Amino acid sequence: MCRSLAQLIDDDVSVRYKIELARAGRIDGTPSVTVMVVDRLTSLLKHRARSLHCSIYSLARGEPHPNASRIRISSSIGTDDAPGLQSWDSVQVLGDLIAWNIPASDARICEMKVVNWKTGVTVWEFYDKQWHRCRLVSESHVVVVTFESLLVYAIDRDRQSPAVPSTTGTALCALQLPAWSSISNSLLVQSYIQFPPSLAAKDRPLYRYDPSLTLLTLDIDYIIDTAKKGPQLVQYAVFVPVATILAAIRSESPPPAASASPPDGHISQSPGRVVPWSEWGPAGTHVAHFDTSNGPCDFSPMGCSCAVTQQRRDAASGESFLRVLVFDVHPWARPDPQRSTSELLRDSGMVGGKGEGEGDTLSGLGFTESVRTTFPFDFTRRDIPLGRDDRSPTVVLGEDGLVLVTAPA
């Protein structure tokens, strides 16, 4: 019986096409021209072959997670090894939810989705520009980080059916970032967030990060081209406490009903409420400007802290090392009371002061409004020596310290 059924599937193209449609979560379309079933099947198989899959495994068992309704989540767009696609840039896990960003291979759109991995239901979905990303800031809210703003959406993790794709118009609110000036170009805004790991049943730590103080870190890069200096890379970090984002939406009315829109990357609706930078940013975030004369900085967050790393070379010995600044940004953070904040920043050798140097003046040209902030912060500096054979050094911030990851020589 099984052999006969398998032969039927192999021999009857229409039956196999229907099975593959079901496996891909698709239904037959209505092409403008007549397309043979065998050609439709070939196209569908090619599409599935180049789509990304996210597998759900148990760390304790090293095998498919027993509580997952399905062990594999698939993207709905082709990727063809999309440039810049990295696991830490694409996947975030928070409780029962997985946030996944899948940029299309044609550099046109990014598919963003939040899936409840226990039920297998897609509880939120959004299509936007290639370099935009979604980040979970709680188990009931997701933020889309764009070059101009943070779009905040409500999600229902317990819904039983897939959510209708969201649009810009269904956002609870848009928290605007500082407005760009016409002199800045080649803009890039990247985002990072890492909630503290949840405790296992037997875990009994003395202390741990407070999840409610977790940061969303924005890495803002742009080019300033002046006649005197030529093209100059400017790099900022905006440390946004999740509490700041949630406070901005607590008093908001429910969002408008979601309406389906084609995933073409063209979103024209306006969010429910636009909050100017001046109303939420200066008092609710910390902004740092980094000296990029030694190269750009890398970021690794954990809870209310973020490690900012820059590779440097000792002027005397010529040896390479990593300079790491671990920022702590929360309401009770305070720098050394014996020294001014600007002195501490200058002594770090990595961070610009408050508009006192040429680099700060240059960086200020990128915005049309002030980016000075007052939210409390502190930082610790660490210099990590590198061996001659250390390749592609990367610093990862953990709960108890820094981890240096290098590639084999």
Q: Tens of pLDDT along 31-72?
A: 655 667 777 777 666 655 556 677 888 888 888 888 888 777
Contacts 24+ apart (CB under 8 A), 86-92: 89/133, 89/190, 91/54, 92/135, 92/136, 92/193
- In the prediction, which pLDDT does 258 show? 45
- Gap between the Cα atoms of 288 and 235, Å rounded: 9
The predicted structure's pLDDT at residue 257:
45
Structure-token pair, residue 315: 């002027």
User: Cβ-count burial of 33 within 10 angstroms (0-12 exposed, 13-18 middle, 19+ buried)?
Assistant: exposed
Structure confidence at residue 208 (pLDDT):
83
User: Which residues does 272 contact at the CB level (< 8 Å), separation at least 6?
Assistant: 169, 170, 171, 172, 173, 252, 253, 255, 256
First to last CA, the chain: 56
What pLDDT, on the 0 to 100 scale, is given for residue 119?
92
Can you read off the two tokens belonging to residue 90? 């694409």
Instruction: Give the C-alpha separation, 227 to 231, whole Å.
Output: 9
- The rounded distance, in Å, linking the Cα atoms of 182 and 116 is 42
Could you list the beta-strand ranges (E) of 27-179. Answer: 53-55, 57-58, 63-64, 72-74, 91-94, 97-103, 110-116, 121-128, 133-138, 141-145, 149-154, 173-176
Q: Hey, what amino acid is at 37?
A: V
Beta bridge partners of 193: 216
The Cα–Cα gap between 83 and 107 comes to 9
**pLDDT, position 78:** 57
pLDDT of residue 59: 82
Other CB atoms within 10 Å distance of the CB of residue 294 = 14
Report the helix count and the strand count for the chain, using DSSP H and E.
Answer: 8, 23
CB atoms within 10 A of CB 57: 12
Q: Which helix (H) or strand (E) holds 281?
A: helix 277-284
Q: What is the DSSP letter of 51?
A: S
| CA angle, 247 then 249 then 251, to 5° | 90
pLDDT at res. 184: 77
The pLDDT value recorded for residue 214 is 96
**CA 366/CA 357 separation, integer angstroms:** 15
Give the pLDDT confidence score for residue 129 in this predicted structure. 82
Q: Give pLDDT tens digits along the chain (409 positions).
A: 455 444 544 556 777 777 766 655 556 666 655 667 777 777 666 655 556 677 888 888 888 888 888 777 777 665 554 444 455 568 899 999 999 888 776 667 888 999 999 999 999 999 988 788 999 999 999 999 999 999 999 999 999 999 999 999 999 999 999 988 877 777 889 999 999 988 877 888 778 889 999 999 999 998 887 777 778 888 999 999 999 999 998 855 454 444 444 444 444 466 678 999 999 999 999 999 998 888 899 999 999 999 999 999 887 887 889 999 999 999 998 766 555 555 555 656 667 644 444 444 555 677 888 888 889 999 899 999 988 888 888 999 998 889 999 887 6
3-class secondary structure, 407: strand
